[in-house]
Chain A
Amino acid sequence: MKAAKHEADDERLLVEAAQRDASRFAELYERNFERVYAFVVRRVRNRAEAEDLTSDVFHRALANLPRFEWRGVPFAAWLYRMAANAIADRLQQAGREAGLPSDADDIEDPVALRQLEERATLFHLVNELPPDQQRVVNMRFVEQKSIREIAQALRRSEGAVKQLQFRALENLRARMRRAHA
């Protein structure tokens, strides 16, 4: 509980610093990029749309930061609200019915929020993997390359790549456990 309080105080200081000096916004971005992306990517159809919306959310956040008022709610909640609005705007522009589950409800739902936080942590942890495991994860899951293509690109045997993939997933699983212990 104390740790959570400490983190909130920390975040508040970061937000206030960025309100005074927009160049400090980078720190808020670093802390929240994975959260916003994880929120958005589950609600759209493809990667391009997810990137577009994530970019939209952070630009809106930067522009509206001076108007953000600290009321004890995490900064991420403000970003999620903005993301939900951005998605709704996009759906409206595209003339689509808002057939997705109500985003506003999701933001309030503690279970959904925990899952979101876990996915964001996972995305973050990929950056902490040993470099060869990181490359395999990115090539396999982001670029959707086959084991053979990765083996050729990395000049390793297919067996070695499968081994790296296995270790990377194990590693991530273990780090996730520690992060959410």
Chain B
Amino acid sequence: MPKRSLNQQLDQAVQALLSRPDSLLPAAEAELAPLLSVAADLRDLPRKEFREQLKSDLQRSSSMATQPKPQAVSYIREGFHTITPYLIVPGAAEFLDFLKAAFGAKERLRIPRPGTELVMHAEVDLGGYIIELADSNEQFPPRPAELHLYVSDADATFARAVAAGATSMFEPVDQPYGDREGYVKDKFGNQWYIATPISWTPPAGGPPAVQPVLHPRGADQLMEFLKDAFDAEILGDVPRSPEGAVLHVTMRIGDNTLEIGDAHGQFQPVPCALHLYVPDCDALYQRALGAGATSIEPPNDKPYGDREAGVKDASGFTWYITTHLRDMALPLPIRRLDFFTIRTANLERARRFYVDTLQFPVLDENKGEYFRIAVAGVPVCVDYDANVAGQQGNQIGVVVSHLGFTREALRGRGIQFTEGQRAEETWVAIKDPDGHEIIFIQEK
């Protein structure tokens, strides 16, 4: 029988390796053995495509981590229109409940004032339009508003608003200007005109669900200001009384509208605050000042990704002139650290170490499950977990007043330690029985 070539012998052995992945190296000529051991290892060779794919995935993640791509961010924050009423009321949390019950508003955001239940900022969506609100305080006294709502059924919404606690000012009637409209006041000082179009055709997309209504003394002056400062334009006619007072006008700024009429009778000025998203906050702020407004605050970058300025016009309305710069993740409303957990495979042993030897005070414990100690005032929960063995330990860093004293105190307890120094500090580190490290640091 002719001797098979080395090529063929090798391939046969390789075939055997591949078909029985867990078997030992097949017997072969001595000179083939080293090649077969290479072949055996090659069974675990990674796929090239996987290597490349993972690399590009990581590159994408890392570039997102370092440099947020300069994507085209609209100067209007997502979900907003150019004009948004900002209602400052006492009892904002209760007011939020009222908005939901009366108008079916959806809460988009609520940021509490740190350490309190008060609302620092909240946003609700009402038919695709946003109303912003906050609790009033000494710095920000109440600023209610008059708002004109277009709803699908004015009578039903009116009834819900009254049921939710609003006061009826007049019940819905068919108005000569083509709306069926009712009017309520809420207990927070806001006035609501609740309307449904009955004899006019709203534009595509429906009538604006929320429009601020302004009743200044001297509507003409306010209209001039809005034209000069914000390029507002008048939509339609300006009906006037025989004395020349403006009865009603709709003005557009950017992508939405507001309504103005001279103050008269029961419709007296409600000097509300309006939030205006514009392409260039700095330029419009200067124009507003040039048009006669006074500054509340010059343009400045806010932590929520907006650049914002505040002015008050001669009629007493407040305008927050804002350019949205970047989308920011919202801060978490954290009040304090309640605890964090390290895990131990042996609760008794850990307790001896932390409580008996290191003498950290016990805050509470549940035998067989956990104990909680205070480390420099921070509650640390030592929790039983049978699977902790072999896992990477945690590190707890604490600053001490005297490292030499710490060293002696550890020696006195018979605890081994390592030590070292970094740029601004020297440290002594010990390990607990589960491998968690406690690092005592002295700052230079």
Contact = CB atoms under 8 A, between A and B. Distances in A.
B23 interface: no
B11 A23 contact: no
Contact of B51 (A33, A42, A47, A81): A33
B42 A166 contact: no
15 contacts: A22-B63, A23-B63, A26-B59, A26-B62, A84-B390, A92-B387, A119-B44, A122-B41, A137-B45, A144-B18, A162-B11, A163-B7, A169-B39, A172-B42, A173-B38
Interface in A110-137: 118-119, 122-123, 126-127, 137
Given A22-B63, A26-B55, A141-B39, 5 more contacts: A30-B55, A33-B55, A51-B54, A62-B62, A176-B38
A51 B44 contact: no
Main secondary structure of the interface of B (DSSP, over half): helix
Contacts of A140: 14, 18
Given A38-B44, A166-B6, A58 B390 contact: no
A8 interface: no
B41 A88 contact: no
A122 B8 contact: no
Contact of A62 (B10, B15, B44, B61): B61
Interface string B120-146: 000000000000000000000000000
B331 interface: no
B180 to A, nearest CB: 57
Given A122-B38, A138-B45, A170-B35, A55 B54 contact: yes
A18 to B, nearest CB: 8
Could you say which interface size class chain B belongs to? 35 or more
B48 interface: yes
B44 A41 contact: yes
A163 B48 CA distance: 23
A34 B62 CA distance: 20
Interface string B1-37: 0000011101100110010000000000000001100
A38 B387 CA distance: 25
A7 B41 CA distance: 26
A34 B51 CA distance: 9
Interface string A33-61: 11001100110000100110011001100
Interface residues of A, number: 55
Given A85-B392, A162-B7, A42 B62 contact: no
Contacts of A137: 42, 45
Interface in B380-398: 387, 389-392
A166 B8 CA distance: 9
A93 to B, nearest CB: 11
A159 B48 CA distance: 26
A104 interface: yes
Interface string B295-322: 0000000000000000000000000000
Interface string B47-89: 1101100110111011101110000000000000000000000
A104 B57 CA distance: 28
Nearest to A24: B62
A141 B58 contact: no
A126 B42 contact: yes
Main secondary structure of the interface of A (DSSP, over half): helix
Contacts of B55: 26, 29-30, 33
A23 B66 contact: yes
Contacts of A85: 391-392
A109 interface: no
Given A38-B44, A41-B44, A22 B62 contact: yes
B58 A59 contact: yes
B54 A58 contact: yes
Contacts of B414: none
Contacts of B45: 123, 126, 137-138, 141-142
A92 B389 CA distance: 13
Contacts of B389: 104
Given A33-B51, A126-B45, A162-B11, A59 B61 contact: yes
B85 to A, nearest CB: 41
A23 B68 CA distance: 12
B414 to A, nearest CB: 25
A51 B47 contact: yes
B43 interface: yes
